[in-house]
Amino acid sequence: MSENHPLIPIRKAVIPAAGFGTRMFPATKAIKKEFFPIVDRQGRAKPVILEIVEEAIAAGIEEIGIIVQERDRALFESFFHKPPYTELDAKLKPQHQEYDQYLLELGQKVTLITQDKANGFGYAVYCAKDWVNHEPFLLLLGDHIYTSFIDKNCVSQLLSVYQHLGISTIGMRVSPAHEIHHYGCIVGQWQAMDAVLGITEIYEKPTIEYAQQNLRVRGMGHNEFLSVFGLYILTPAIFDCLSHNISQNQREDNEFQLTSCLEQVRQTEGMMGYLVKGRCFDVGLPDVYRQTMIDFRQV
Ligand code: G1P
């Protein structure tokens, strides 16, 4: 970056949490998937959404916008902005009361943004446009949690790479062929082997056949592909594209998708991938959630 154009630091993070969690039905009939419990490295039981918020705040993010359905607002409000109800509060051990104080302080950094229609992932991100207000921002998913293999947490790693590169950067991981129909897949040329990739295409949920013919990346095993890790640093250009698709009612599978807009921003501004030194747990899938309960604390 030229000294005349210093990078705007990333201050805001957006977490879409307005999905229905259909893959976790019927559990999601009783509880939002963002509130499924996990056990963290300290042995504390906490909802998934808290782990995600803490990861972002620990990396220096100052404000978090969570996109929620109107009907779930009270639930998120009560978790992030209110003390426990009186009878529970009275029974909490001192260390839990202390933790709740910290929770309320953390909650001051959380803004709830309503998604008015269930119109897909791209539409959810678009709902944060006014709150983000023309800054580059971090996008996390409401059902992905992370552990890092190095001292820096996964969000910090991505922020550092963005500070260095200065363009939209997507966290990546290696996925086996049989899983890629769940994920956005990424192709490109390594600029730093096994770390930074100049992206040449992002393709949403490919079949194995398509991936084997079109999504191979140098140095990867025969049955391995690069897929989305669930962390993105994006410039506000993403909102222009989403806004265009929404105003033109350009849907894919009846929804407004993020991936086609990522691909468009890549074509106009360029986009990098960073192979995160860490592990991502997609707790929106039953078997991954089960494994997360076992592995998350130990990794
Ligand atoms: C979304 C994205 C996809 C990404 C995935 C991660 O899909 O569109 O690119 O890999 O999240 O879970 P969804 O899970 O909303 O179908």
Length of the chain as a residue count: 299
* Cβ of residue 51 lying under 6 Å from some atom of ligand 1: no
Give the model's pLDDT for residue 103.
Answer: 94
Among the listed residues 237, 226, 234, 267, the one whose alpha carbon sits nearest the alpha carbon of residue 166: 234
CA-CA distance, 228 to 170, in Å (whole number)? 7
CA of 256 to the centre of ligand 1 (A): 12
Domain, as residue range, for 16: 12-295
Residue 69 forms part of a structural domain: yes
How many angstroms does the Cα of residue 70 sit away from the middle of ligand 1? 22
CB atoms < 10 A from the CB of 291, how many? 13
Q: Terminal CA-to-CA distance of the chain, rounded, Å? A: 36
The secondary element (H helix, E strand) that includes residue 111 is: strand 110-115
Which residue, judged by its Cα, is nearest atom 15 of ligand 1?
A: 121
Q: What's the confidence (pLDDT) of residue 154? A: 98
Q: What is the DSSP letter of 252?
A: B
- Specify if 95 maps to a domain: yes
Query: Rounded CA gap, 51 and 31, in Å?
Result: 17
Structural domain contains residue 7: no
DSSP run (H or E) holding 214: helix 208-214
Task: Say which residue the tokens 């490919």 belong to.
Answer: 206
Q: Exposed, middle or buried, 80 (CB in 10 Å: 0-12/13-18/19+)? A: buried
Pocket test residue of 52, 228, 261 for ligand 1, highest count of atoms within 8 A of CB: 228
Q: Ligand 1 centre from 292 Cα, in Å?
A: 18
Whether 263 is in the pocket of ligand 1, judged by its Cβ within 6 Å, is: no
Cα(32) to centroid(ligand 1), Å: 17
Return the ligand 1 atom nearest residue 282 CA: 12
For residue 34 and ligand 1, the question of a CB distance below 6 A is answered with no
Domain with residue 137: its CATH number is 3.90.550.10
| Beta carbons within 10 angstroms of residue 204's beta carbon | 18
Q: What's the confidence (pLDDT) of residue 162?
A: 97
**Contact by Cβ (8 Å): 162, 61:** no
Q: Are 226 and 273 in contact (CB under 8 A)?
A: yes
Q: What is the distance, to the nearest Å, from the Cα of residue 266 to the centroid of all Cα atoms in its chain?
A: 18
Q: What is the pLDDT of residue 5?
A: 57
Would 282 be classed as within a structural domain? yes
**pLDDT at position 299:** 62
76 found inside a domain: yes
- State if residue 204 touches ligand 1 by the CB under 6 angstroms criterion: yes
**Residue 3 lies inside a defined structural domain of this protein:** no
Pick from 162, 183, 191: nearest CA to 269: 162
Amino acid at 264: Q
258 lines ligand 1 (CB under 6 A): yes
pTM of structure? 0.95
29 burial (CB, 10 Å; 0-12 / 13-18 / 19+) is exposed
- Asked if the peptide bond before residue 83 counts as cis, ω within 30 degrees of 0, the response is no
Burial class (CB in 10 A: 0-12, 13-18, 19+), 261: buried
Q: Are 188 and 201 in contact (CB under 8 A)?
A: yes
Please give the helix or strand (H or E) that residue 269 lies within, else none.
helix 259-269
Report the pLDDT value the prediction gives residue 85, as an integer from 0 to 100.
86
Beta carbon of 121 within 6 Å of any ligand 1 atom? yes
Measured from the Cβ of residue 54, the count of other Cβ atoms closer than 10 Å reads 17
Instruction: State in Å: Cα 258 to ligand 1 middle.
Output: 9
Split into its structural domains, the chain has a count of 1
Which residue numbers in the chain have pLDDT < 70? 1-5, 299
Amino acid at 74: A
Q: Quick check: CB of 228 below 6 Å from ligand 1?
A: yes
**Rounded to whole angstroms, how far apart are CA atoms 243 and 215?**
28
Does residue 165 lie within any of the structural domains? Answer: yes
Place of tokens 């902005």: 81
User: In this structure, is residue 135 part of a structural domain?
Assistant: yes
Rounded to the nearest angstrom, the distance between the alpha carbon of 135 and the centre of ligand 1 is: 23
